[in-house]
Amino acid sequence: MPILLSAAPAPRDWAVVALCAEWCSTCRDYRPLLAARAAAVPDELHLWVDIEDDADPLGDLDIETFPTLLVLHRGRPLFFGPVLPQIDVVDRLLQTLRSGAAADIPIAPDNEVAVRWLAQQALAAR
């Protein structure tokens, strides 16, 4: 199950879902940074998903680069892809998306099941 990095659940329109793996040293280093961001940005939900622990509900999800982020607005995917493991990159990404410059993005057929499940998890956690 995804791990909630944000404080207690509260209504939030934005969700940042980090897809990583425990064996990945970059992911292990990134997790506390993203948890700190979650504390600093309480109006965004932050979830941590280990793609191996949640392999069944994620289906045929194909992640080639860690970390990969899924950014959702009210359950709609606006970004899905790898990011540099730097919080300022995440901040800029969210700033751009929140400015209204983004529209729903197409999701590859192999990733549709995973994105749908992750969106449900984010909506349930908010």
The answer to whether the bond into 9 is cis (omega within 30° of 0) is no
> pLDDT tens across 46-91, in order?
999 999 999 999 988 888 899 999 999 998 999 999 999 999 999 9
The pair of structure tokens assigned to 1 is 């199950």
> pLDDT tens across 112-121, in order?
889 888 988 8
| Opening angle at CA 112, ends 107 and 117, nearest 5 | 125
CA atoms within a 13 Å half-sphere pointing along the CA-CB vector of 24? 19
CATH code given to domain 3-125: 3.40.30.10
Residues 28 and 32: their CA atoms lie apart, in Å, by: 8
Global pTM reads 0.89
**Alpha-helix runs per DSSP H in 3-107:** 25-40, 55-58, 87-96
